[in-house]
Structure 1
Amino acid sequence: MYKNPYEQLSGKITAPKITKAGFQELQFDTGQIKLNYVAGPDNGPPLVLIPAQMGMWESYQKVMAPLSKKFQVYVVDIRGHGKSSWTPGDYSWDTVGSDMRAFLENVVKQKALIAGNSSGGIIALWCAANLPHLVSAIVLEDAPVFSAEMPRFKDQDRFVYNGLKKLVDNIGDPENRDLATYFNGMEMPVSETRVKRVPPQFIRYLSKKIQKFEDAHPGQPIETGFPSTLRLLLKSLSMFDPDFARAFVDGRFYEGIDHSAALRRLQCPILVLHADWHRYPDYGLVGAMDDRDAERILELAPHACYKKIHANHVIHAFKPKQYIAAITEFAAEIQLLPKLEK
């Protein structure tokens, strides 16, 4: 059974804006695993941010310092990610949810606003449905509500499923892999007639860059590549247990939540942030949810608020100002923060 080779690395934050804002990188032992997280100063109600699958706390760097002026911000690396424990063979909504229960009870220690991106949004939904005494409100940031349920995830809107399968097939052995091969066969449809593909020569070039970095920095997460989005992706991949993705592919992960039933049970305030999406005949849904999915959320949880933001799936990284505004306005509306002056 393999373990996370980076779990014991120093928790020193190197980003100047984050350290200046008072954030610390810490670890919490749940009794079963270690959860890596960063915590900001106590400047307001708790706000817990949960990254997308393959993401780490660093994806929130553009929004952490501004949000910490009004909230006490926590960003969690869920199991299988970053410096948190890897648990191959033990990944599901229920197991990740149990980690969040321990984190909220023992670290946050009061009701929290939970904002999750992508699969992190489904974790936020799980928390709100199962831990109402620990959740003040949730934000579903382009979460794959309904689209990440079987059989739709595999048979109908299969673009993300196929991407996870390629990840498992190409870099599924964490002890013997070249991360550049993650891009083998990768396709991104941009219209019904045009598809972008990663050139083989780029994969070969990236492989050499990664090997050079590993030779110079043995035992360290991969930090190479340009632009910064690619650099962060490679670092995140190097610190990601591929069995987390494998659990989505082979069906182990889905235990623990029915999206419709969870939404019907919700009593807390909900903000739905919806990014851009497209659907193509050969790929299905390219995005997390379509307009009908958003409508169904509002039908099942009619007290939810909805906001469309024209952005990539990771709204907080690509439209940080709009994300910050949406969070703070929502918190003011539900009286977690003072009313904003108009």
Structure 2
Amino acid sequence: MYSNPYEHLSGTIKSSKLKKAGFQEFQFDTGEIKFNYVVGPDNGPPLVLIPAQMGMWESYQKVLVPLSNDFQVFALDIRGHGKSSWTPGEYSWRIIGEDMEAFLTGVVKRPAMIAGNSSGGIIALWCAANLPHLVSAAVLEDTPVFSVEMPRFKEEDRFVYNGLTKLVENIGNPSSRDLANYFNGMEMPVSETRTKRMPPQVVRYLSKKIRKFEKVHPGQPIETGFPSTLRLLLKSLSMFDPDFARAFVDGRFYEGIDHAEALKRVQCPLLVLHGDWQRYPEHGLIGAMDDRDAGRIKELVPDMKYRKIHANHVIHAFKPKLYIDAIMEFAAEIDVLPQPGK
């Protein structure tokens, strides 16, 4: 058993841009965990942003201020991430869904649009299916609907499953881990015949940089590396409970949701944002879902809105303007935002 060494750092937003826009960072005690989040000024209806596995609220920094012009924006660290509580042995869709119920009831206190990226999108789907009184609309941002269900996740489209297995094997012990090992031997297929790998000398250099940072800044999240995407990934990894990933590998996590049944229960407006994907024989699906999955969602939720965006899996970070435009257009279509003259 271990606890999050960074919980006490809550309330330390570094971005002057976010501070100037009125964002603040807080922790909410649900009675079971401490939930870390940032919230912007009350400029409209609530919009709750849920990052991907291994992600933190900081992944949304490029979109927080623009969205806060029309919404009151909340961005979260879910349990096991960032400055929220780590609870090894207690991770599942149901458990995190119940965290969300406590947060929506105790902090947001009115029906909210819930937007989640990747696994955060599955959480948004859980909320839409199980908390209709608390969810005004849901946005699934490149979400692994169907593809993260067993046995498909492990046997057919196994690329992400294998990546989580590797993470657990390489940095699964928080007390004695070298985060650079996560990149050792990591493969990213770019075609049926070509795969990108981080060179071993780069991994060794990164390991040296991390050790140097830890020596100079003991007890602080890792903030080193270049470019900024790598820097944020290392910080997120340093603040991530590996048992969250282990629960996907050993099967504990899947309790609490059947994707098709959850979609059938969705009563609120639904937007699906679909990023780029490929499928290779050796790896399965590279991405969150394929066109067949998107079509199946449409069959189960005929009124859902769909937008294809040619972007990396984390659309809000790599194509922030397109993400903002999609959210704003969806909100206008479903009358979530007040209309001029009304």
TM tier, shorter chain? over 0.9
Secondary structure of 2:99's match? helix
Report the equivalent of 1:236.
Answer: 236
Q: Deviations over 1:154-175 (max 9, x none)?
A: 0000000000000000000011
Aligned to 1:90: 90
| Structure 2 Cα separation of the partners of residues 334 and 216 of structure 1 | 51
Residue equivalent to 1:145: 145
CA shift for structure 1 position 340 = 8.5
Residue 6 of structure 2 is aligned to residue 25 of structure 1: no
Deviations 1:176-214 (A, max 9, x none): 000000011100000111001111101100000000000
Secondary structure (helix, strand or coil) at the match of 2:84 reads coil
> Residue 221 of structure 2 aligns to which amino acid in structure 1?
P
Q: In the alignment, what sits opposite 1:248?
A: 248
Q: How does 1:84-233 map to 2 (within 5 A)?
A: 84-233=84-233
Correspondence for 1:275:
275
Aligned residues: 341
SS in 1 for 2:140: strand
Task: Kindly state the Cα deviation for residue 17 of structure 1 after the two structures are TM-superposed.
Answer: 1.2
TM-score, with normalisation over the residues of structure 2? Answer: 0.99
CA RMSD across the alignment = 1.0
Contact 1:333 1:339 in 2 (8 A): no
Q: How does 1:313-324 map to 2 (within 5 A)?
A: 313-324=313-324
Q: Is the 8 A contact 1:25 1:36 kept in 2?
A: yes
Residue 337 (structure 1) shift: 1.1
Contact 1:113–1:137 (CA<8 Å) still a contact in 2?
A: yes
User: 2:141, 2:339 → 1: CA distance?
Assistant: 23
Q: State the secondary structure of the residue aligned to 1:192.
A: coil
Instruction: Name the structure 1 match of 2:13.
Output: 13
Q: Is 1:334 aligned to 2:319, yes or no?
A: no
User: Structure 1 residues 340 and 146 mapped into 2: Cα distance closer, same or farther (>3 Å)?
Assistant: farther
Aligned to 2:37, the other structure's residue is in SS state strand
Q: 1:155 to 1:185 in 2, by over 3 A?
A: same
Write out aligned runs for 1:52-67 (5 A).
Answer: 52-67=52-67
User: How far does the alpha carbon of each residue in 1:74-125 deviate from its partner, in whole angstroms, 9 at most, with x for none?
Assistant: 0010000000000000000000001000000010000000000000000000
CA distance in 1, matches of 2:229, 2:285: 23
1:338 is displaced (CA, Å) by: 3.7
2:10–2:83 contact (8 Å) kept in structure 1: no
What SS does structure 1 have at the residue aligned with 2:86?
coil
Q: Distance in 2 between matches of 1:333 and 1:308?
A: 17
Once the 2 structures are TM-superposed, how far is the Cα of residue 37 of structure 1 from its aligned partner? 0.2
SS of the equivalent of 1:12 reads coil
Q: Percent identity?
A: 79
Paired residues for 1:37-52 under 5 Å: 37-52=37-52
Give the equivalent residue in structure 1 for 2:306. 306
Q: Deviation at 1:10?
A: 4.2
Structure 2 gap segments, 5+ residues each: none
The 4+ residue runs of structure 1 with deviation greater than 3 A are: 338-341
- Report the Cα offset of residue 339 of structure 1: 4.8
Q: State the alpha-carbon separation in 2 of the partners of residues 259 and 152 from structure 1.
A: 13
**Unaligned regions of 5+ residues in structure 1, if any?**
none
Q: Please tell me whether the aligned partners of residues 53 and 119 of structure 2 are also in contact (alpha carbons under 8 angstroms).
A: yes
Counterpart Cα distance in 2 of 1:339 and 1:287: 36
| SS of match in other structure, 2:168 | helix
Q: 1:157 to 1:165 in 2, by over 3 A?
A: same
- State whether residues 332 and 340 of structure 1, in contact with CA within 8 Å, keep that contact through their aligned partners in structure 2: no
Residues 10 and 36 in structure 2, CA contact (< 8 A), matched pair in contact too: no
